[in-house]
């Protein structure tokens, strides 16, 4: 059961990945971090958040699969007029992987191409990825926000209007409970607690 958070925050992720998460095709996020993450690097600062879709003109070519009916042509981010949010997520478990073989063992659990995953893994002098298991919930209706300049830039987190929390009434799980528990058990078996 979803527990409503105290504030509305968005986690920025590629639009097509948000589509995969909302459709229940995956429940993982592989994150290195944005440019503006600070000296300590990327951190999971929030336990519950809206999935905030970002535009990246060539993201379709960087994925192994596309969600059915997904938009694949994106204009420049600065030309964006609205942001359509369709899902909310709860952070269930986090792993920090520094072993490339363990990262590769997750290939069947996400949509990114191996080249993108390697690029993220080897982003700086410390090769690692933050892997997050999410419990994703589909909103009953799309939450359409006017795009603001504050949403832009290479950062992972954006503050959203608090009235967005009302959009959580009537959410449905992207992956039903039994299938999600099996997925979680499989990941714990592969990655440990």
**pLDDT exceeds 70 at position 5:** yes
- The residue with greater pLDDT, 42 or 106, is 106
The residue extents of the domains of the chain are 9-191
- What CA–CA distance (Å, rounded) separates 73 from 63? 14
**pLDDT exceeds 90 at position 37:** no
What is the pLDDT, as a whole number, of residue 60?
Answer: 57
122 within 8 A of 159, measured Cβ to Cβ:
no
Note the pLDDT tens digit of each residue in 8-36.
999 998 888 898 999 999 999 998 754 44
Note the pLDDT tens digit of each residue in 53-75.
987 656 556 666 656 665 555 55
Q: Three-state secondary structure along the chain?
A: CCCCCCCCEEEEEEHHHHHHHHHCCCCEEEECCCCCCCCCCCCCCCCEEEEEEECCCCHHHHECCCCCCCCCCCCCHHHCCEEEEEEEEEEEEEEEECCHHHHHCCHHHCCECHHHHHHHHCCCCCCCEEEEEEEEEEEEEEEEEECCHHHCCCCCEEECCHHHHHHHCCCEECCCHHHHHHHHHHHHHHHCC
């Amino acid at each position: 059961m979803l527990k409503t958070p105290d504030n509305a925050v968005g986690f920025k992720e590629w639009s097509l990945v948000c589509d995969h998460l909302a459709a229940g095709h995956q429940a993982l996020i592989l994150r290195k971090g944005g440019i503006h993450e600070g000296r300590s690097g990327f951190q999971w600062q929030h336990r519950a958040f809206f999935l905030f879709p970002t535009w990246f003109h060539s993201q379709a070519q960087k994925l192994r699969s596309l969600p059915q009916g997904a938009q694949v042509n994106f204009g420049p981010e600065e030309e964006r007029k609205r942001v359509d949010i369709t899902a909310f997520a709860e952070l269930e478990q986090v792993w920090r992987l520094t072993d490339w073989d363990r990262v590769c063992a997750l290939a069947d659990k996400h949509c990114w191409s191996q080249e993108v995953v390697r690029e993220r893994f080897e982003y700086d002098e410390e090769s690692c990825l933050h892997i997050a298991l999410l419990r994703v919930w589909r909103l009953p209706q799309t939450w359409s926000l006017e795009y603001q300049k504050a949403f832009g830039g290479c950062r992972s987190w954006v503050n959203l209007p608090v009235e967005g929390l009302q959009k959580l009434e009537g959410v449905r799980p992207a992956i039903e409970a039994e299938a999600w528990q099996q997925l979680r058990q499989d990941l714990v078996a592969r990655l440990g607690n």
